[in-house]
Structure 1
Amino acid sequence: MRPNYVLGGRYRITQSLGEGGMANVYLAHDLILDRDVSVKLLRLDLRDDPHTIKRFQREGLAATELVHPNIVSVYDVGEENGMQYMVMEYVKGMDLKEYIKQHFPIPYQEVINIMEQVLSAVAVAHAHNIIHRDLKPQNILIDEKGVAKITDFGIAVAMSENALTQTNTVLGSVHYLSPEQARGGMATKKSDIYSLGIILYELLTGTVPFQGETAISIAIKHFQSEIPSVREFDPRIPQALENVVLKATSKRPSDRYESVTDMANDLETSLSPRRASEPKFTPVEDVDDGETKVLDKSALNSEAAHVKPDTAKKVAPKPKKRHRRRRWLLVLLGLTAVLIAMVGLAFWLGRPQTVTVPDVSGLTVNEAQQKLSDSNLDTGAIQRQPSAKIKKNLVIKTSPQAEQSAKKEAKIKLYVSTGPRLVRIGNYVGQSYTRAAAILKAKGVTVRRQNESSNEVPVGNVMQQSIENGQRINPKETTVTLTVSAGQRQLQLADLIGKTKSQIQQYSKRESLNVSFKYKYDNATKNTAIDQNPGAGSTVKEGSTVVITLSRGKKPVSNSVPKVEDFNVDVNIPFEAGSSSSSSSGKTSSSASSEVNTVQIYIRDHDHNYGTVYKQLTIAQDTQVSIPFAVESGKSGGYKIIRDGKVILSDNNVTKNSH
């Protein structure tokens, strides 16, 4: 596909992003919505296969249902000149494979954060009965804000029919292939769980568990060899975290997690000190699973040795009388009937007696045990898991489930609620709102945005959060509010003409403006504003300086007017970190980056005295200010600069030539 080609009259191709076993990927620009997108085009050699085309279209449309912050969005599916294409969200960043190479070793908590995002996305796909089938780090993208996004939903399904003939595709995926897929069996949701376990292994160790010269040799290891211990690679990894890898990558699907949600719940608490003494996970011991067994030659020979050859066949003489033959036939039929009746009776008497499993959901463990006992059933293992619907310490369900049949005295497994799944809140202050919100939403948390002006925090970054770092919440009941910087506040400047100096100072303090005063003889009342710059109605940012010209009153008779010299004095005001005037908050918020000093400047000259503040300003670093003076000839002026009630700079002998 050449650059500048417009696909579907809408998507202008910009450049190639890569080639895969199923499709080629291009960067394009959506001319209607004015945004960059990625376009996948079905490979040329697959465009004549009607079955593959149908699967590509159907799965592409199905993928459009998967709306989740950690799934690459599919915007459009179409065809042009025989070219099947899919338009998706463009993710600027790198895939997880490259991310591991660049950032390994990755902190355990960051590993869990990445996996929680991926698990949350896969849970949504499984809820729509979509199995990825090809989960691997190459299909997980990490954008520039650290948000993980899964791609290639649907295409992995379409690829399955061509996988055996596309060696490169198999070779790229076989490291994450479940044992049942390696045997040629059907992929299930638990196959995705196995692949997720391998991805977690790679995040913790920086490599895949099985290597080999060929794809076949690697596939064989998946169903024959045990997963190497991640704790042997890094003894600091908690046993509880290794157990998540071991359970997810169990050889038998029945030993794995029931769902990706269960895996996410287990992973979330894997670093908890309460699980420090957890034993190593061991799958249930293998039993006969019904697979075909192959006997060796010695066994076959042994069986053959007990078979006598038919070397003495004799032809029975015919009975002389027909009624004898009929009598023996009747006897034989009677014996057969008796034998069948005896076998049936034995089967009936020897059959295992079954009972119906009662519904014990919502009961306490003791109540459930009693109800099971009343039904001639025993209590088996008790497994605790979170539940948003069932209160803590009450039974959620049983295995076998209620109303199913079970043998008398069979052990029934109880699933007991630990209450709602609690989510640990991290520290998001200083992060971009987009990334913080994506992390929280991936955990099922409802996020509310609240904008607030700030001179120090960059626009779009989190300034405060309503829930403190480390606190655990029920995401179904608690909303997290993030206060986000909207940058400097802007306001429309009021009409200050005619206002007194004290009124203007009060207004500037209320609106966080800096005011600089000038003086001019005028017929207006002394110390009232006769001019302002910027003018009334102008839009200014918080902290801006407004120059106000005040009236000195009527100009006196010329021979009595003292000569006044106007000049400026530059003063450097030092910033003091940790000053008590620095901003603070009881909530989690940025600290050092938001500290400021509040400073008052007093001046004494022809128009001012030390009784009123000339200017108040806030500084976040050493700041130079220019102070205007109007001093009568032969006299001097002065200034005092105060912070926290203390004079930090002063000069009571300011003249035009002294500075």
Structure 2
Amino acid sequence: MAPSHSSPGCIGRYRLVRRLGYSGTAEAFEARAEGAAGIVKRVCVERIHPALAADPTFVHHFTAEAQAAMALSHGNLAQVFDFGQAGGVLYLAMELVDGPSLSEVHLALRRLGLALPPAYAAHILVAVCKGLHYIHTLTDAAGRPRGWTHRDVRPQTIRLSYEGQVKLVDFGIAAAAARCDAGDGAVLSERRAYLAPECAAGVAANARTDVFAAGAVLYELLAGTLPPATGRLEPDGSAFGGAWPPLNEIAPWVDPKLAEIVDRAVAPLPAARWPGALDLQQALATWCAEQGAWTTDEELGALLRWLFAARLQEAGRTTEVAGAPPARLLEWKAAFHAASRRHTGRRPRLRRALPLVGVILAAVAAAASLLVWSVRRPVADRTVRVLSQPAGAAVFVDGRDTHATTPALLPG
């Protein structure tokens, strides 16, 4: 552990530069660590919330998981450098990923009435699966499998750099929090949205647990929403409750082969899923090859530098800003709208919130008033599917904000 000294604006030997974000377990900061000969290293320091830092059980698990995380070294995992306690503050220092989370990307696109092209989504999840496969297959000095899992794969723990790198973060903190079921209520609810049904029932996590979470992330990217929680382990441990709706029922514009890959990843029964992250990775890579849908890190980085141009400009990084959206994004936008029109039904009015971004996107905002409410015949669970053109509309029922955005699946 690092030496224990703390002062305002510092945690241990790290000088805090700016706040990056907040989660249910920690507050993240960009920080600088000064080494020998005045060498300065930019890192991310996560300051664990005081309530958790005062919990001996959490501290015990955090220490064990942080030590494990420091042994990890993979291009798709944010490297953990250090952890410790300073002045009663529990912290973890890791690699600083210079860019947004996948959650921020998804939200930024939806605010513009856009969606992440499937090729980009598959590219990101291929990278995530590479990191997960590395974690799942680690062995100890005697060659025995360690049996490690991430336990908290979701858009908030997937970070993307402006160069197009994809990194899973929070391995140590996520594992400790999962062991204690720790964190605030909102984040616990968010975490459980990507949790495999067997884990919600108390079964120990394994590689297929992370496969489910990765599949859930991809489902959300392609459909624009997650379905309500359904699967639960039966008392005899032999079966689960209802499965998620097939992706093509929620998002008929998604290529059927890609939808099948995702549906298998989020199967309620672990035995019906892809056996491991490598299998899901290979299935996605094969789909990309067959569709000619390969995306490079450079293309992904260009999308981020366009999407977050204002953020870069505020930081004085104007030379890094991409002046125009990637061609693939515009191509998918046209294809998505065409596919959406083929699957539309009745068209009631829904409220729409779409920011104006220049003259071109102003025209998109004007066109976004054409929304579609597609109501299927009621099935046993009575759900209503809400679509819009383009996606990303706020959904109100009887004047009440449901906090959902299209496409959405609502209870009937």
TM-score range, shorter chain: 0.5 to 0.7
Which residue of structure 2 aligns with residue 7 of structure 1? Answer: 11
Q: Deviations over 1:240-289 (max 9, x none)?
A: 21111111111111111111101111111225559xxxxxxxxxxxxxxx
- Which residue identity does 2:32 align to in structure 1? H
Residue pair 2:123, 2:295 contacting (<8 A) in 1 also: no
Matches within 5 A, 1:613-652: none
Which residue of structure 2 aligns with residue 177 of structure 1? Answer: 195
Deviation of 1:223 after TM superposition, in Å, equals: 4.5
**TM-score of the aligned structures, taking structure 2 as reference length:** 0.61
Counterpart CA distance in 2 for 1:183 and 1:254 is: 16
- Which residue identity does 1:19 align to in structure 2? Y
Counterpart CA distance in 1 for 2:268 and 2:216 is: 12
Deviation of 1:118 after TM superposition, in Å, equals: 0.7
Which residue of structure 1 aligns with residue 206 of structure 2? Answer: 188
Counterpart CA distance in 1 for 2:162 and 2:183 is: 36
- Which residue identity does 1:139 align to in structure 2? T
Which residue of structure 1 aligns with residue 280 of structure 2? Answer: 263
Q: Deviations over 1:371-407 (max 9, x none)?
A: xxxxxxxxxxxxxxxxxxxxxxxxxxxxxxxxxxxxx
Gaps in structure 1 of 5+ consecutive residues? 212-216, 275-423, 437-457, 460-659
SS where residue 135 of structure 1 aligns? coil
Cα pair distance change 1:99/1:219, threshold 3 Å = farther
Deviation of 1:180 after TM superposition, in Å, equals: 0.4
Q: Deviations over 1:212-232 (max 9, x none)?
A: xxxxx7879995222122223
Which residue of structure 2 aligns with residue 224 of structure 1? Answer: 241
SS where residue 224 of structure 1 aligns? coil
Counterpart CA distance in 1 for 2:89 and 2:182 is: 24
Matches within 5 A, 1:52-67: 52-67=58-73
Deviation of 1:40 after TM superposition, in Å, equals: 1.2
- Which residue identity does 1:28 align to in structure 2? A
Which residue of structure 2 aligns with residue 238 of structure 1? Answer: 255
Counterpart CA distance in 2 for 1:427 and 1:62 is: 32
Deviation of 1:143 after TM superposition, in Å, equals: 1.5
Cα pair distance change 1:108/1:53, threshold 3 Å = same
Counterpart CA distance in 2 for 1:223 and 1:175 is: 16
Cα pair distance change 1:231/1:2, threshold 3 Å = farther
Which residue of structure 1 aligns with residue 47 of structure 2? Answer: 41
SS where residue 94 of structure 1 aligns? coil
1:24 pairs with 2:27: yes
Cα pair distance change 1:160/1:72, threshold 3 Å = same
> How many residues end up aligned between the 2 structures?
281
Cα pair distance change 1:220/1:209, threshold 3 Å = farther
Deviation of 1:100 after TM superposition, in Å, equals: 1.3
Counterpart CA distance in 1 for 2:277 and 2:183 is: 31
Residue pair 1:101, 1:206 contacting (<8 A) in 2 also: no
Deviation of 1:64 after TM superposition, in Å, equals: 1.5
Cα pair distance change 1:271/1:68, threshold 3 Å = closer
Deviation of 1:169 after TM superposition, in Å, equals: 2.8
Matches within 5 A, 1:267-306: 267-271=284-288
Cα pair distance change 1:130/1:5, threshold 3 Å = same
Greater CA radius of gyration, 1 or 2? 1
SS where residue 156 of structure 1 aligns? helix
Counterpart CA distance in 2 for 1:144 and 1:263 is: 25
Counterpart CA distance in 1 for 2:232 and 2:193 is: 8
Counterpart CA distance in 1 for 2:179 and 2:135 is: 21
Counterpart CA distance in 2 for 1:185 and 1:132 is: 15
Matches within 5 A, 1:380-419: none
User: Of Structure 1 and Structure 2, which has the larger fraction of its residues in helix?
Assistant: 2
Which residue of structure 1 aligns with residue 151 of structure 2? Answer: 133
- Which residue identity does 1:82 align to in structure 2? G
Counterpart CA distance in 1 for 2:266 and 2:296 is: 33
Which residue of structure 2 aligns with residue 593 of structure 1? Answer: none
Residue pair 1:140, 1:148 contacting (<8 A) in 2 also: yes
SS where residue 132 of structure 1 aligns? coil
Residue pair 1:23, 1:42 contacting (<8 A) in 2 also: yes
- Which residue identity does 1:25 align to in structure 2? A
Deviation of 1:18 after TM superposition, in Å, equals: 2.6
Q: Deviations over 1:22-68 (max 9, x none)?
A: 22222211222413211112221122322221211121121122212
Which residue of structure 1 aligns with residue 177 of structure 2? Answer: 159
- After superposing on structure 2, the runs of 4+ consecutive aligned residues of structure 1 that deviate more than 4 Å are 1-4, 217-223, 271-274, 424-429
Which residue of structure 1 aligns with residue 372 of structure 2? Answer: none
Residue pair 1:240, 1:271 contacting (<8 A) in 2 also: no
Q: Deviations over 1:97-155 (max 9, x none)?
A: 12112234222211111111111111111122321111110111112122211111021
SS where residue 93 of structure 1 aligns? coil
Deviation of 1:96 after TM superposition, in Å, equals: 0.7
Counterpart CA distance in 2 for 1:210 and 1:183 is: 16
Counterpart CA distance in 1 for 2:272 and 2:45 is: 39
Q: Highest relative contact order (Cα 8 Å, sep 6+), 1 or 2?
A: 2
1:123 pairs with 2:136: no
**TM-score of the aligned structures, taking structure 1 as reference length:** 0.39
- Identity score, percent: 28
Matches within 5 A, 1:443-458: none
Cα pair distance change 1:189/1:427, threshold 3 Å = closer
User: Of Structure 1 and Structure 2, which has the larger fraction of its residues in strand?
Assistant: 1
Deviation of 1:168 after TM superposition, in Å, equals: 2.3
Residue pair 1:95, 1:137 contacting (<8 A) in 2 also: yes
